[in-house]
Amino acid sequence: MASHGDTTEGGANEEFSDIIKWRSDEHDAVQKKTFTKWINAQFSKTGKTSIKDMYSDLRDGTKLLDLLEGLTNTVQTKERGATRVHALNNVNKVLQVLHQNHVDLVNIGGTDIVDGNHKLTLGLIWSIILHWQVKDIMKDIMSNLQQNNSEKILLSWVRQCTRSYPEVNVLNFTTSWSDGLAFNGILHHFRPEAFSWDQVFRLSPMERLNHAFTVAKDQLGIERLLDPEDVAVQLPDKKSIIMYVTSLFAVLPKDVSMDAIREVETLPRKFKAEDAVPGRSVQQNVQTEDASSGPRPETPVTEGDVEVGLLDVDLDSYQTTLEEVLTWLLSAEDTLQIQEEVSNDVEDVKDQFHTHEAFMMELTAHQSSVGNVLQAGNQLIAQGSLTEEEEDEIREQMSLLNSRWENLRVASMDRQARLHEVLMDLQQQQLQQLSDWLTQTEKRIKRIETEPAAENMEAYKEKIEEHKELQNDLEVEQVKVNSLTHMVVVVDENSGESTTAALEEQLQSLGERWAAVCRWTEEKWQKLQEVFLVWQQLLSDQNLFREWLAEKEGILK
């Protein structure tokens, strides 16, 4: 990293972006390899054929359904055709099964998987792993301890297992594992007869990792989901580490004390990089949805805004946390960039609105992480233990982080405002179209009511056909009315109550007019049918009378 004195801000920004992009791609490659091994480990249990390239082999949905069959112990029907439609149907079935099993998915659609989107495919598999590999294994102990953070319990378990090993100090699921001691410490704690700790301690990190994965395979039957070269790096992939440690947790004693949990809760903040959980959609009702109440991402604290705390911060942990936050920030920037242009179809815009709403909630959930990095940077500078060059570099990093966060925040709010504007405009057009249709239909009804009565059966049948046309028009309009029952009401902060009141009044008026038209149409149809039956009876009686009269006239002649 160049220091502040020998580069422009634009050049530094580009250089830093390249570093973080490389880090993100590196983690994606590790996740692809690790997740593929995990999937194949599941297939080996059920006798399914293994996959080679996760991105391409999962696109048609059949292997995903195979995976879910094993995890849910159910049979899933698959479409075997080779067309895109077959693939979409299979993947949508996968998403349906995941929804039924309460697996949380954010911004992942069937087309993303069929198109082979790398990040979203990884996200889908991680959601499956998190549900069945992590939460499912840990649900009992989480319930017993009345805890809802599986990562905290897992970290507590690891620290409890390795407490007697002074060389092991696990503070996270990234940097604490790269030297291989933590994996070996867990194994030696439960299998001390399996190997000599002193001998392992003298090995290199790569050798330690290879030793741990070999012992876990031979002694515990745990697949080698990780490769040593992917862990012996500056910042190992967190998800892959959690997945493997959970495999250890699943087959080893699971005693976790509240003291161990409390110890994790009191670890210095610098060592913890909690993953924020994206928020859910705001509350909605049958008629309208208020989209103004959700939190919005704010500008985090910047240099000089933070009071210096009492905890010491070291440069390595600051850099690690900074890279994690910037890796997430890059992913968020990519997510925002690939969002489609705002549609001109009201139903599509509603979907885009809800998708972006979830994205905004995720930004809000992560803003504290950005603030924590800036706070840690201020803390480092305030401690006075850095060289002038290191201080300049940290100030530059903080400036770049704050700038990128602010650009993302502003761009996200701009898109939100655009979606609000387009959605309200399209919905107002819908309301106006309904009002115009009701006006024309009310005139049509008034004309029908003032028409003279039919003079014969043929004229009466024409009236019935005319009414059927009205009923057909009503059914067509019903589809549009149904859309209005799921309106999204975007409330402006300055005129929220008045806007809502005016819209509710407009909807109530249209609802009453619509109900009146439907009621008149139904009642008119019943009357037409009643009169038609009477008229048919009259014609029948008339024919009978004519036949009787003709018969009597014949007798008289």
Q: Residue 393's Cα: distance from chain center in Å?
A: 36
DSSP state of 284: B
Q: Is the pLDDT of residue 196 over 50?
A: yes
Fold for the domain defined by 275-425: Methane Monooxygenase Hydroxylase; Chain G, domain 1 (1.20.58)
> pLDDT band at 52, cuts 50/70/90?
very high
Which overall architecture, per CATH, does domain 147-267 show?
Orthogonal Bundle (1.10)
Q: In this predicted structure, what is the pLDDT of residue 26? A: 67
Average pLDDT, the chain: 80
Q: Is the pLDDT of residue 189 over 60?
A: yes
In CATH, the number for domain 1-144 is 1.10.418.10
CB atoms within 10 A of CB 377: 25
All CATH 1.10.418.10 domain ranges of the chain, comma separated, are 1-144, 147-267
How confident is the model over 366-379, as a mean pLDDT? 86
Q: In this predicted structure, what is the pLDDT of residue 143? A: 74
Q: Is the pLDDT of residue 14 over 50?
A: no
Taking the C-alpha atoms of residue 186 and residue 202, their distance in angstroms, rounded to an integer, is: 17
Q: In this predicted structure, what is the pLDDT of residue 313? A: 64
CA distances from 392 to 4, 62, 302, 318, 399 (A): 5, 53, 15, 15, 11
Q: In this predicted structure, what is the pLDDT of residue 62? A: 92
| Beta-sheet strands, E only, within 16-165 | none
Quick one: how many helices (H) and strands (E) in the chain? Answer: 19, 0
Which overall architecture, per CATH, does domain 426-556 show?
Up-down Bundle (1.20)
Q: In this predicted structure, what is the pLDDT of residue 287? A: 34
Q: Is the pLDDT of residue 446 over 80?
A: yes
Higher pLDDT, 485 or 338: 338
What does pTM read for this prediction? Answer: 0.48
All CATH 1.20.58.60 domain ranges of the chain, comma separated, are 275-425, 426-556
Q: Is the pLDDT of residue 290 over 50?
A: no
For residue 66, list its beta bridge partners. none
How confident is the model over 128-150, as a mean pLDDT? 79
Q: In this predicted structure, what is the pLDDT of residue 338? A: 85
* 376 in Cβ contact with 318 (< 8 Å): yes
Specify the 3-state DSSP secondary structure of 290.
strand
